[in-house]
Homo-oligomer: A and B are copies of this chain.
């Protein structure tokens, strides 16, 4: 087992992820990442030989895995569609810290990497999210075409509410969005 580890992998990813979410890829300096992680630069390079780019990629992959486990899988799993959606809303609230944390998919999609290695990962994550939401809505009896439209709108509203919340300096828009999301998706608004 790995001994002499100052920070566990999960905790490390979480701390690095916070930096990337706060200031984006270009804004996340090694100094900032080192401070946030509690490790020195050289130690970060020991864990991520590929440097900042690898850190961002692994953070993105970790977030994708989290999304899959805590959001997408529960959406596909059993139970009433309404309950599954309510569960997603609770998880989203926690994941984005009630609207205080921006979304990695937004903050990393402008990374000026030579033909971005993140591009594919970001697109796949969006696609998977849309697909899972579409599935739960068809389970609820919604026509597939309509379901997909509502799923896309939901994901866009999530992104927009986070951008808007950050822009106006309050989490109200995000919280308000989360509240209306189940109704918007199921068409019971």
Contact = CB atoms under 8 A, between A and B. Distances in A.
Given A26-B23, A27-B24, A168-B126, A156 B161 contact: yes
Contacts of A27: 24-26, 110-112
B164 A156 contact: yes
A139 interface: no
Interface residues of A, number: 37
A91 interface: no
Contacts of A163: 103, 105-106, 109, 156, 159-160, 163
Interface string A2-34: 000000000000000000001111110000000
Identify whether the interface residues of A are mostly helix, strand, loop, or mixed: helix
Contacts of A164: 126, 152, 155-156, 159
A153 B106 CA distance: 19
A154 to B, nearest CB: 9
Interface string A156-177: 1111110110111100010001
A123 interface: yes
Interface of A: 22-27, 102-103, 105-107, 109-112, 119, 122-123, 126-127, 152-153, 155-161, 163-164, 166-169, 173, 177
In the A-B complex, the 9 residue pairs with the smallest Cβ-Cβ separation, listed nearest first, are A160-B160, A156-B160, A26-B27, A26-B26, A159-B160, A159-B163, A106-B163, A156-B164, A122-B167
12 contacts: A25-B27, A27-B112, A106-B106, A106-B167, A123-B169, A126-B168, A156-B161, A156-B173, A157-B160, A160-B161, A160-B163, A163-B163
